[in-house]
Chains A and B, each alone.
Chain A
């Protein structure tokens, strides 16, 4: 527990990752076997299940950067992911029917363009709303992010041209700079690689000078100001970075499903991401990945047991949170921090 609290890493990044974060390396390695397992069992459902877990995991990791390390309980990450998803889908829509977006921009099915653009727009959405929401704290912050989430939700519902309530089917063929990633296994590996890169990125970020300021602000904002650091600009940058990562998850979600729908943007989904982060453990960058896997498995298998599956689901969540205060990461020996933002990667 002590070693998570910003102790100098005598051994360097790789050795430290092996020591402190080996469970996630095992999990990523096991996930990489999912396509093989799926084809061996001739069960395509499995690969869809784990694709869902990986992408939900990406969104929950994005959220946890501001939740677990910044102390910001955001209920708008489904909306931010939705911006990324709709960017991919709308550009693909215009690519398919040859029309122009705003009468100016041609569409594209090239994800090398639409995904970065989606991330940029998500970051922009996070920054713009953050200017307002980050001036509040506690319950007010939660309520304002909830309101922004619903504004995004109804914004996309109102876009009749892009399917409105019914969602938007992606009919154009999508490619990643010329590479075809439409096969389920290929797409799964792309998503898994994206998750791995995301984890690496946030692991470095939380221990950087920027990350230290964010974690300190979560613990004692008044002290941060007294030291001479104005916290708002750091929180704003963190929220934008988190938004970009959520946008990436949303863009991949749209790509994998070939479909986007406003229902994925509802605030309930935002709540799901919080559940994944808390369930997995907020004290580590990778904790929410464990949460996402458990969440997706419970969501898939409990309904076959009872149609009131949310009841046992809730019970499992309560039990995990009560008995493992740091989430599932406690179970694998990587204790979370006792104070918000105190953790390492």
Chain B
């Protein structure tokens, strides 16, 4: 059996007495789409933030491609190949869509101390940025300033930025959040197209999307994984039904 691309062991995180992550262990296999579901406040975003490096866990270990990254700062994890999209859209509102993605491509190249050449004309940045926008289906909006994009388009843009980082693992925190049915379905189709090329850990409330995309599902309740398995088995699990799916009907 292949070794996991991401391996989380006994992770703990408390905020002033609230247990956000409770002895959590989780694996994401190469090219697996692993969905993380759970009620509000279960600690899903806190977990994503610890995996990306924005938050430091109190104890436990995170390994990426076999190497311990528990103490690596966020920017280094990004360069190792972990890309996160945020629950609340996080882009550069004053740049065009293309410039947003070009900066992601630039981050990968690590040549930030260039002081004279115009970055917006640099084919080494623009070409991969256009390619990422095309993959996401946003290339026709490349020259639009990001703050003028629709909500759905901004979510797509954020995904394009993640792809331009050439990651091997995508951490997607509710990529369909706030989207209408049509935009949500488009996003599901886009993610279905990315599935074969990336390992994905996705937090999502839209159960149709989760069961359409995920190879495996983990259910998070009160900071702990209460069930992991293929979507069908998780759906049938009585503990899961009681804790989560049951409430949603």
Residues of chain A having any CB pair with chain B under 8 Å: 1-2, 5-9, 13, 204-205, 207-213, 215-216, 219-220, 222-230, 234, 237, 337-343
Q: How far is the CA of A342 from the CA of B94 in the complex (A)?
A: 5
Are A2 and B96 closer than 8 Å at their CB atoms? yes
Indicate whether A204 sits within 8 Å of B165 (C-beta atoms), given known contacts A220-B92, A223-B90, A227-B103: no
Given the known A-B contacts A213-B112, A339-B147, are A220 and B103 also in contact in the complex, defined by CB atoms under 8 Å?
Answer: no
In the bound assembly, the distance between CA atoms of A63 and B54 in angstroms comes to 31
With A2-B143, A209-B111, A227-B78 as contacts: A337 and B94 at CB distance below 8 Å:
yes
Q: Are B112 and A228 in contact (CB under 8 A)?
A: no
- Check if B84 is an interface residue, CB within 8 A of chain A: yes
B188 to chain A, nearest CB (A): 23
Residues of B bordering A, CB below 8 Å:
52, 54, 73-76, 78-79, 83-84, 86, 90-96, 98-99, 102-104, 106-108, 111-122, 125-126, 143-145, 147, 161, 165
Beta-carbon contact of B93 and A219 below 8 Å: yes
Residues on B with C-beta less than 8 A from A341 are 94
- Minimum CB–CB distance from A268 to chain B (whole Å) comes to 31
Neighbouring B residues of A204 by C-beta, 8 Å: 115-116, 118
Query: Can you spell out 16 A-B residue pairs with CB atoms less than 8 angstroms apart?
Result: A2-B143, A6-B99, A8-B126, A204-B115, A205-B116, A211-B119, A215-B92, A220-B90, A220-B91, A222-B54, A225-B54, A228-B76, A228-B79, A229-B75, A342-B94, A342-B95
From B94, B112, B116, B121, contact of A215 by CB (8 A):
B94
Chain A minimum-CB-distance residue to B108: A228
Contact: A228 with B117, CB < 8 Å?
no
Least distance between A16 CB and chain B CB atoms (Å): 9
CB pair A8 B103 closer than 8 Å = no
Q: Are A222 and B119 in contact (CB under 8 A)?
A: no
A6 and B115 form a contact (CB under 8 A)? no
Q: Which residue of B lies closest to A219 (CB)?
A: B92
A212 to B147, CA, bound (A): 17
Q: Are A212 and B106 in contact (CB under 8 A)?
A: yes
Q: Report the minimal beta-carbon distance from B168 to chain A, rounded to whole angstroms.
A: 13
- Residue contact B95 to A5, C-beta cutoff 8 Å: yes
| Residues of chain B with a CB closer than 8 A to A337's CB | 94
Contacts of A215 in B (CB 8 A): 92, 94-95
For A207, the closest partner residue in chain B by CB is B118
Complex contact B165–A208 (CB within 8 A): no
A204 CA to B119 CA, complexed, in Å = 10
Please give me the residue from chain A that is nearest to B158 by CB atom. A223
Q: Let me know if A227 and B115 touch, CB within 8 A.
A: no
User: Which residue, of A5, A210, A341, has the highest number of chain B Cβ atoms within 10 A?
Assistant: A5
Which chain B residues lie closer than 8 Å to A9 at the CB level?
A: 118, 120-121
| Bound Cα distance from A213 to B109, whole angstroms | 13
Contact B92 A230 (CB under 8 A): no
Nearest to B118 among chain A residues (CB) is A207
CA of A2 to CA of B76 in the docked complex: distance in angstroms?
33
Cβ of B111: which chain A residues have Cβ within 8 Å of it? 209
Q: Is the CB of B107 within 8 A of A8?
A: no
- CB neighbours (8 Å) of B86 from chain A are 223, 226
Candidates A210, A220, A228; contact of B114 at CB < 8 Å: A210
CB-CB under 8 A from B96, the residues of chain A are: 2, 5-7
CB-defined contacts of A208 to chain B, threshold 8 Å:
114-119
Chain A residue numbers with a CB within 8 Å of B147 are: 338-339
Q: Which 10 A-B pairs have the closest CB atoms?
A: A342-B94, A339-B94, A228-B78, A6-B99, A227-B107, A228-B107, A209-B114, A228-B79, A230-B75, A209-B119
Q: Identify the closest chain B residue to A13 (Cβ).
A: B118
Shortest distance between the CB of A324 and any CB in chain B (Å): 19
A227 to B86, CA, bound (A): 12
Residues of B within 8 A of A226 (CB): 52, 54, 74, 78, 83-84, 86, 90
> Which one of B104, B111, B120 has the greatest number of beta carbons of chain A within 10 Å?
B120
A214 (CB) vs chain B CBs: closest residue: B112
A124, B95: Cα distance in complex, Å: 31
Contact A210 B113, CB 8 Å, known A6-B99, A222-B90, A230-B73: yes
Q: Bound complex: CA of A37 vs CA of B119, how far in Å?
A: 41
B111 to chain A, nearest CB (A): 6
In the complex, residue of chain A having the shortest beta-carbon distance to the beta carbon of B76:
A228
